[in-house]
Structure 1
Amino acid sequence: METGPLGTTVDRSPPVDRAPLVGRAGELARLSSVSAPALLLVAGEAGIGKSRMVEELRGHPDLLGHHWLVGECLPLREPFPLGPVLDALKGLDVFTPPVGRVDRVEVFPRVRAGLAELGPAVLVVEDLHWSDEATYEFLRFLCRGLPPRLKLLVTYRPENVRTERPVVDLAGYLPRWARAVETTVRPLRVAEVGELAAGLLGLTRVTDEFATRLHELTGGVPFVVEEVCRALPAEPAPRLADAPRSVLDRLTAPVALRGSIAERLATLPVAVREVVAAAAALAAPVDEHLLSRVACLDKPTAAEAIDRALAHGLLRQCAPGLLATRHALATRAVIDLLAPDELRRAHRNAATVLAEADPVPHARLARHYKHAGLVAEWVRHAEAAATRAVALGDGDTAVDLLADVVSGSGIDIATRARVAALLSRAAQPGLRHGEAVAALRSVLAVAELPAGLRGEIRFGLGMLLVSQTGEASAGREQLRTAVGELDERPDLAARAMAALAIPSFTSGTITEHLAWAKRALDMLGSFDDHAVHTAVHVNHASVLLYSGDPDGWPVWRAALARGSTPEARLHLLRGASNGADAATWLGYDARARELLALIPTLIDEDSSLYTNRLVTGTRLRLDLAAGRWEGLAERVGHVRAGAGAHRLPMLDTEARLVAAELALATGSLADAEVDLREITGHDAPLTIPLLTAAMAARARIALSGGRADEAVTLLGPALNLVRRHGNWVWATAIVPHACAAMVALGDRSGAVALHREFADAVVDRDAPAAGAAALLAAGHVATRAKAADLFAAAEGEYEAMGRPYALLQAREAFAQVRLAGGDKQPMLDVVTGFTDLGARWDAARCAQVLRKHGVTPRHRGGRRGYGDALSPRESAVARMAARGSTNKEIAEALFISVRTVEDHVANALRKCGVRTRSDLTCD
């Protein structure tokens, strides 16, 4: 920093986003409350936030009106005598800075006298551990006669203080009427790291997992946290908030951190560098004996080197008797600073020492042998560690260990193929499918791949591709090819057939799915593998459930009774996920929740991260249907964060659909339309029921605006897709809207035909939601006399399902019929129901219908005041205005008058402090 007139400080650095101050309230309160004269000692390691504490103190109410004089000691080989003090006094008319050698007898008293004349003042000397002799001597002189209205604030790093010049000695020179206060600025705790990261990323909060991993990486040092957050990839911030492995683990150590460690290592003996390098190579807490062996140092030399490394903050004692580098990024920084031969030697030494351990730490040995360049030993231990991880259900660790081996160009194809077969099995229950897919594709591209393993590897690749990677079509093609390559593996052929039985967007017809299921069942007599038998029966149950077959639930219960081994229970876990998904689409919400509750009992939750991620989408859809909307938008955001971080595009689409439907119901029409258009675009990974649900939401918007032709256009391709597939249960969401739109266009005969086609197809299906949709469709094509009874019957079906929002929509259709006959009370009740649920868009639509019939619904209670913040309605209007919608378009979409839109736009412009509609933002 530079000092201006009267000691004002000027930051030399360009402006950056200011990080929030976190976890320092106690230290600030203690330092600000000390009365002059006083010596304030602020200690802490590099990057811990000492200078930030000084900045915050300058703005503290108790220190306003003080002159602030700030000087900084610099790590120069030959620093200018008394440089920090003279720099702090620059611009003050207390004396003329000396030229050449400082005359202590003349200068010291003049400077102290000048400080005394300033009145209330704070003299700050930053980084005293780098001070020159004259500065240190002056501070001792100043402390002996500290001016009555002066506070001397010194910051320093304890690990860098010279033993012959300890900073705390300054307190011994103070007169008895002066106070000395020492504060050590500590590292941030996990929760505080999360709070700081959220502020830097522009989030309300980050997940506990992200905060914990970030704390492990940075040791809670605020500067390192800031550097990491600013180095994160240019991805949407919410996604980064849940990316502890896929994002954080790819980061390199910030250059400032590498520079700080390099500076310390350069001034210390070679033995210190050896123990620090050994600790970085080991990358785990170890005892002093193991560390000295890896560093190849005798016991006395190692002990002295470790003590020096601890004193200089290069190592830490993380538990009694256990040593490690300061934090994970410090480990990476040290490794970056090592020469290639140093790093190889450290890993070879680590492998030699750890190979003697019992039990053998295969995973650690694989890592050390890999970095030491010893390929055969690397592969052997990687396979052993991965096999153990698979047995424990830890697929992600297995992928970490094996993917590099499979992709390794310098490894013979027989070894790569053998390891690829293991990888293809190991990756199934985990989340790191992307790395495994890339590795398996690389080995399948090799012409010399042994024929006996090609089918097994292709089967594993196909299973990964159909599992939430957004490449289901490619995965099914791989599985179909694998069936023809697995003549010698009937168990895997049956698994592939069973997987092909599960319906998807591009998978053919329901008849073909059932045929694959039958082929898989017919294969069971050719082998005896309990887990595979369970998998085939689970998938048979799944395809039956997805089609609403009445045999689906009995077959599922029979499959559930088969799962008596850990591997078989993994298949039951997947079956419960499929069953909950199918039950939600069928309208069996209570059964879906029972299946979700069953999942944790099937297998240790820590071993089922993949399935637990996937079923979060089903939970969101259930909560939306059940009207459990409190906090739902935030939960959707976190699910999308996890889906983005772990590359689960189908889950992201499912969560985004819930967000769009919730936004539509609660009045954020512009947001809903944007999400729905992107969901139904060509690039979004979709299942047929997700597509039909999204199209149904878009059709509702079109119908509410009187655009029945648009609704028919939107729903036509989705109906044709269902016809081709043959599973009419998946048309539940769109048929009632299609019938309503066709009737509105005068095509009653077409609507009647569609209703009959749908009703005939689902009449024997065990699907309550389809039955209710058939009643709604029948109501739209019936005469007024019959329509009310049909809509009322549908309302009863939704009530039995526990779906209040769908119930109210059916009640709205019933109320429309009654309103046409002059009975206004049912529609008034519907407005109340939608309002109580929080469905503002629906309530406004129904209220507009009532106003057209001369009835204005009464508001209950007063309107909430929002002050300078945008109200929900102002926010919705502002979004649409910013995106170019006209006032008339906004009024029609939100069921309000053009004059009201004008008022809302004016309020939004005023509250946001902008002049044009295009400048409006409302995050």
Structure 2
Amino acid sequence: MLVGRAEELRSLVAAGLRPPSIVLVEGEAGVGKTRLVTELLRHDELTGRRVLTGCGQAMREPFPYGAVLEALRDAGRYLPDARPLNGVTGALRPYLPELGAYLPAAPPSLGDRRADQHRLFRAVREVLDALGPVLLVVEDLHWCDDGSRRLLRFLLAEPPRKTSLLLTCRGAEAPGGLPLGSAFRPAPAATNLVLELRPLDTEQTGLLASDLLGASVSAEFTAELRERTAGIPFVIEETVRTLDPQSAANADRMTARRVLDSVAVPARLREAALEQLSALPVPARRITETAAVLGVPASARLLGALAGLPPPRARQALVLALERQALVELADFHYGFRHTLARQAVYDAIPGPHRQELHRRALSLLRDEIPVQYAQLAQHSRKAGAPADARRYGEAAAAAATSAGDLSTATDLLCTLLSEPGLDSSDVDRMAVKLSELANYGTAQHEVAGALERLLSDDRLSRTHRGQIRLSRGLLLIRQAGSIEAARTQIELAVHDLGHRPDLAGRGVAVLGQPWFGATPVAEHLRWLDRADEVIANTTDRTLVLTLLASCLPSRLQLGDPGALAAMDSVPTAVSSPEQQRQLARLHANVADACAWIGHHRRAGSLVRSAIELASNCAAPYLIGIARSTGVHADWLTGKWAGLDDKARSLLAEYRQLLPMSGELSLVLGLLATARGEWDRATAHFAAVGPDEPENAVTPVVLAAHAGIASMLLSHSDDEAAAARAGLGLDLLRAKGAWSWSGELLPVAVESCCRIGRTGAAAALIGEAAQKIRDLDAPLAAVSLLFCQGVLSLHRHDHSCAAKFFHEAADGYDRLPAPYPAALAREQQARSKLAMGEPGAADAFPALAEEFADLGATRAAARCRHTHRATGAVAPSRRGRRGYGNELSPREQDVARLLADGHTNREIAEVLFLSRRTVEQHVASVLRKLKVASRGELTTAAR
């Protein structure tokens, strides 16, 4: 997959189509120059061009004119069809005897070396001119001999009129930094272009890695890979080649580091690095080796001191290492390696005793640096063979990282320390407790859960602390897909073990009371919540109270407790410690989530903002993630769909391994896809929620996913399957007993029952739901019952009653606010009036179509337009409406999006309620306006 080079490729193709042209492509080793040239030579628009290719050779004494003569050797394939060659081309006979059959006799020497050279240069230009449209490619210009450079300068000054010259080079490695031996002076009559290829950015690195692995990689893995490879495509490819796709797909930051740390330096990179190192004089080699040992960008002073060189010699050695590209300047006057693998190759080549001595010297030098770099001191202590110092500095580094809000680094440091042999029980206890406390607020999950599991089987961990470690492991597992039942077991065991720590036991009890995880009945959750309330009533510990309230208040609100919101308003907002602020942030994030699910949508949005602000100020990235995903859900509910798809995808890539966030984000993406008629995409997103394994999923998300899938099936008129799917949701709802979450499921369940003729069952369901939510604070469920009554009345052909219920439902949804179901209710109201034959009823559909279109609900907008057309009503005049010219009209944008998603014309017609012929016309217009030759090319570009 060619990543990040589309614009450059277009420029090359355009230059190749407008000879004479001269293109110079510059970039460092491995950045993709040859790959770009390869793509150019494959391009359809250059079919028929005669291509000659040569390259400079990394030889001590390259052959004279070697790069150009190598390219001309292939001219024999084209010369039989070329125009006759004049006498000057005979000058090439001594150099290219393989072309002797096509060249005239060699002219006698002029007795002047410069004159003979000029005649040779003219001969080359004459041959190129005779060949007609030709592309001359010379790669690795930095390795070319002086004769080739002079010959190319001659051609560039007055290029053959039908020749395109493409040159590639590493500018930094060219003699004097000048690829052609002198400043590049393009011919005024030619198309001239200089392209500098830069490394891939983080997003492009992720695309390339995903393509190479055949699976999407996590945002954390992508960021770590970009940092280690500097975005150089060749280095990315060599790094990724040996990796397991699954380890990269689900890696959090800590796991990504460990996965990439395990990658051996690829053989080709190692050979290149060692060849470069061996060519350096001894002082420059010593400077380079010390940079490898330090491992971070370092000043010239520190590099020289560690290498044991006096300042003047150290400066000269560093300059030489920079000139030879062994080292680069990474920051102002700080030097290191271009990427991690180059550093690792040099580091591995240093003999062990010498390496250990360098670490000892580095430790001695860095102790006096201000500010103290504890993480570096810990690393050097470990490599120098000083384990006690490594532990001391490592714990200090973890504490510093925690204070700075870098919980991932702190967690990584503690995991590394705990994995070392030789720790006594007190060390293990102390660091295990620190790790368990950090784990609750960081985003590293799988790696930390594994570390805590290992600690539970470690004899060095005292029984006193075993319950706390088990609790932390349970809290981590409950965030991971497929682990909720195991998490509850761990937390219950921890509560039993924590009799001596009522504060920690209370936290476990409160988490067991949270109803949104798994299929555990509400009655069981209420039992645990009552126990948590007892702890709150019997403690004066403000931090513990906030900790328990952050679990209990949102839990009761999720279940529709009428007093929960009022209790939230009475929680004091003043905090006296970072931990209290973290718990207050957790309270806001969890209450925001509850408000979104039960129908307090405005309150949800406000609490999302306050949760993010609180969590940002107290180093709690996990809480920020919870709030951000709830914000996406709230935006879906309140109709703020512009850019929501991209926002949800970005967050999903970041939080893919965290179940509460990933489930909610996948749900929103599925609902957006359903509203747009993107059935395959919606199906994939709903499947990621885990609707068929509710015991290990987030319950309200699963219920909403069942509703989304059933709605999609109804759109396909697969009514029996829709009723079955809604039935699965109702089974879970009844088993769980959380009817406050029924607002999205009830309308589709009633609709599917009515469509298969079971209006009695639909009426019974409405009655059951009304009784269940009667005393609950569940505004979304209450409004949905009005919609359900309208659906039932519609199927009983009581259109007047249906219109009344739909009108009330629309008003109720507007108050939440919930614009999409409100518009759906207004659409059903209009259909009821249409069925009654009410005059002017059809006039509501154009406005409804615009309302849906403004939201981004493509399918519903098209349905309303279709209904309006079917009534025979006259559409509003288009006079005075804007023309779109070469821009896509709104309808064409819908078609383009569905085309890019791989839909056929028939499928697009079905989604947009259009005729096949109309769709064909739109498709032709889209391809023309977007300047793509085929729908396949459009699909590829979109991906």
Q: TM-score range by the shorter chain?
A: 0.7 to 0.9
- Offset from partner CA, 1:346-382 (integer Å, 9 cap, x none): 4333223223335532222222233445433323222
Judged with a 3 Å threshold, the aligned counterparts in structure 2 of structure 1 residues 196 and 64 are, in CA distance, closer, same or farther, namely farther
- CA drift at 1:235: 7.4
- Partners of 1:243 and 1:422 in 2: how far apart? 17
Contact 1:875 1:908 in 2 (8 A): no
Residues 1:261 and 2:244 aligned together: no
Q: What are the Cα deviations for residues 365-420 of structure 1, in whole angstroms up to 9, with x where unaligned? A: 22223344543332322222222333343321111112233344665565444322
CA contact (8 A) 1:828 1:857 kept: no
Measure, in 1, the Cα distance between the counterparts of 2:41 and 2:760: 79
Which residue in the other structure is 1:20 paired with? 5
Q: How does 1:659-738 map to 2 (within 5 A)?
A: 659-677=669-687, 679-682=689-692, 686-738=697-749
Q: Which amino acid aligns with 1:269?
A: P
Q: 1:611 to 1:313 in 2, by over 3 A?
A: same
Give the counterpart of 1:72 among 55, 59, 63.
55
Please state if 1:97 is matched with 2:102: no
Whole-Å separation in 2 of the counterparts to 1:534 and 1:739: 41
Structure 1 residues 874 and 72, CA, compared in 2 at 3 Å: closer, same or farther? closer
Q: Who is 2:101 aligned against?
A: none
Task: Give, as a single letter, the amino acid of the residue that structure 2 aligns with 1:398.
Answer: A
Tell me how far apart the structure 1 counterparts of residues 10 and 676 of structure 2 sit (CA, whole Å): 39
Which amino acid letter does the alignment assign opposite residue 282 of structure 2? V
Find the counterpart in structure 2 of residue 11 from structure 1.
none
Task: Decide which of 760, 772, 775 is 1:764's aligned counterpart.
Answer: 775
Asked if the contact 1:362/1:381 (under 8 Å) is kept, the reply is: yes
Aligned to 1:9: none
Alpha-carbon distance change, 922 to 856 in structure 1, aligned in 2, over 3 angstroms: farther
Q: Return 135-144 or 616-625, whichever deviates more.
A: 135-144
> Displacement, 1:434?
1.6
Matches within 5 A, 1:514-533: 514-524=526-536, 529-533=541-545
* Cα distance in 2 for residues equivalent to 1:405 and 1:236: 23
Residue 827 of structure 2 corresponds to residue 812 of structure 1: yes
For residues 536 and 155 of structure 2, what CA distance do their matches in structure 1 show? Answer: 94
Q: Tell me which moved more, 898-907 or 825-834.
A: 898-907
| CA 272–579 in structure 1, closer or farther in 2 if over 3 Å, else same | same
Where does residue 106 of structure 2 map in the other structure? none
**Matched AA of 2:475:** M
> Are the counterparts in 2 of residues 689 and 730 from structure 1 also a CA contact under 8 Å?
yes
Residue 168 of structure 1, CA deviation: 8.7
Is the CA contact 2:589–2:607 (under 8 Å) kept in the aligned structure 1? yes
1:829 is matched by which residue type in structure 2? Answer: A
1:446-494 Cα shifts (integer Å, max 9, x gaps): 3563101110111111111223555222222211110011122111111
TM-score by length of 1: 0.80
Whole-Å separation in 2 of the counterparts to 1:874 and 1:169: 46
Partner of 1:260, secondary structure, is helix
Determine whether 1:428 maps to 2:440. yes
- Verify: 1:309 aligned to 2:321, yes or no: yes
* Aligned twin of 1:12: none
**CA-to-partner distance for each residue in 1:541-566, whole Å, 9 max, x for gaps?**
11121112121112223335253321
CA contact (8 A) 2:539 2:545 kept: no
Cα pair 1:393 1:429 within 8 Å, conserved:
no
Aligned pairs, how many? 881
Q: Return the letter of the residue paired with 1:95.
A: R
State how far apart, in whole Å, the 1-side matches of 2:932 and 2:861 are. Answer: 28
Deviations 1:836-864 (A, max 9, x none): 32223224445666677x54673774998
Counterparts in 2 of 1:705 and 1:194: CA distance versus 1, 3 Å? closer
One-letter code of the match for 2:678?
S
Which amino acid in the other structure matches residue 804 of structure 2? D
Aligned residue number for residue 666 of structure 2: 656
Greater mean alpha carbon deviation, residues 573-582 or residues 806-815: 806-815
Distance 1:491 1:860, change over 3 A: farther
- Asked if 2 retains the 8 angstrom alpha-carbon contact of 1:348 and 1:368, the reply is yes
Residue identity matched to 1:662: L
Cα distance in 2 between the residues matched to 1:124 and 1:499: 67
Deviation at 1:440, TM superposition (A): 0.8
Is 2:70 aligned against 1:87?
yes
Per-residue deviation, residues 845-888 of structure 1 (Å, max 9, x unmatched): 45666677x54673774998999998745875997977xx9x7x
Is the counterpart of residue 795 in structure 1 residue 798 in structure 2?
no
**Shift of residue 185, structure 1, vs aligned partner:** 8.0
After superposition, where does 1:392-541 map in structure 2 within 5 Å? 392-408=404-420, 411=423, 415-446=427-458, 449-468=461-480, 470-506=482-518, 508-524=520-536, 529-541=541-553
The question of whether the paired residues in 2 share the 8 Å contact of 1:20 and 1:196 is answered with no
Which amino acid in 2 is paired with 1:669? W
Give 1:35-50 correspondences, 5 Å limit: 45-47=28-30
CA shift at 1:433, angstroms? 1.3
- Give secondary structure in 2 for the equivalent of 1:90: helix
Compared with structure 1, are the counterparts of its residues 486 and 374 closer, same or farther at alpha carbon in structure 2 (3 Å cutoff)? same
- 1:177-196 → structure 2 map (5 Å cutoff): 188=198
CA–CA separation in structure 2 for the residues paired with 1:729 and 1:287: 62
Instruction: Supply the distance in 2 between the matched residues of 1:429 and 1:299 (Cα, whole angstroms).
Output: 47
SS at match of 2:787: helix
**Is the CA contact (8 Å cut-off) linking 1:213 and 1:244 kept in structure 2?**
no
Where does residue 858 of structure 1 map in the other structure?
Answer: 875
In the alignment, structure 1 residue 385 sits paired with structure 2 residue 397: yes
Q: CA–CA distance in 2 between the matches of 1:712 and 1:824? A: 35
Q: More deviation in 787-796 or 871-880?
A: 871-880
What secondary structure sits across from 1:607 in the alignment?
coil
Q: Which amino acid aligns with 1:497?
A: V
Shift of residue 331 of structure 1? 2.8
User: How many Å separate the matches in 1 of 2:204 and 2:232?
Assistant: 13
Q: Do 2:852 and 2:860's aligned partners in 1 also have CA atoms closer than 8 Å? A: no
Tell me by how many angstroms 1:505 deviates: 3.6
- Answer whether contact 1:548 1:766 (CA < 8 A) is retained: yes
TM-score by length of 2: 0.78
Are the structure 2 counterparts of residues 321 and 708 from structure 1 closer, same or farther at C-alpha, using a change threshold of 3 Å? Answer: closer
Q: Give 3-state SS (helix, strand or coil) of 2:570's partner.
A: helix
The answer on whether the counterparts of 1:424 and 1:460 sit within 8 Å (CA) in structure 2 is: yes
* CA offset digits 1:694-752 (Å, max 9, x no partner): 11122223444554443332222322322222221011212233233334444444333
Q: 1:400 to 1:265 in 2, by over 3 A?
A: same
What SS is found at the alignment partner of 1:760?
helix
Instruction: Give the match's secondary structure for 1:360.
Output: coil
The secondary structure found in structure 2 opposite 1:657 is helix
In the alignment, the residues of structure 1 paired with residue 40 and residue 716 of structure 2 have an alpha-carbon distance, to the nearest angstrom, of: 58
- Structure 1 contact 116–149 (Cα < 8 Å) conserved: no
Q: CA deviation at 1:136?
A: 3.8
Q: Is contact 1:398–1:427 with CA below 8 Å preserved after alignment?
A: no
- State the alpha-carbon separation in 2 of the partners of residues 423 and 807 from structure 1: 48
After superposition, residues 366-385 of structure 1 pair within 5 angstroms as: 366-385=378-397
Matches of 1:365 and 1:143 in 2, distance apart?
Answer: 54
Partners in 2 of 1:890 and 1:195 — Cα distance?
31
Cα 1:162/1:737, change in 2 over 3 Å: closer
Aligned pairs for 1:116-195 (under 5 A) are 116-119=122-125, 127=140, 130=143, 135-136=145-146, 171=182, 188=198
More divergent stretch after superposition (719-728 vs 538-547):
719-728
Secondary structure class of the residue paired with 1:488: coil
Aligned residue number for residue 105 of structure 2: none
d(CA) in 2 for partners of 1:860, 1:314: 71
Secondary structure in 2 matching 1:323: strand
Match of 2:119 in 1: 113
Query: CA 1:24–1:303 in structure 2 vs 1: closer, same or farther (change >3 Å)?
Result: farther
Would the alpha carbon gap of residues 399 and 79 (structure 1) be closer, same or farther in structure 2, given more than 3 Å must change?
A: same
Contact 2:205–2:226 (CA under 8 A) maintained in structure 1: no
Alpha carbons of 1:207 and 1:449: their partners in 2 closer, same or farther (altered >3 Å)? closer
Match of 2:571 among 546, 549, 559: 559
| Ranges in structure 1 where 5+ consecutive residues have no aligned partner | 1-15
Deviation at 1:757, TM superposition (A): 2.1
User: What RMSD over aligned residues (CA atoms) do the two structures have, in Å?
Assistant: 5.3
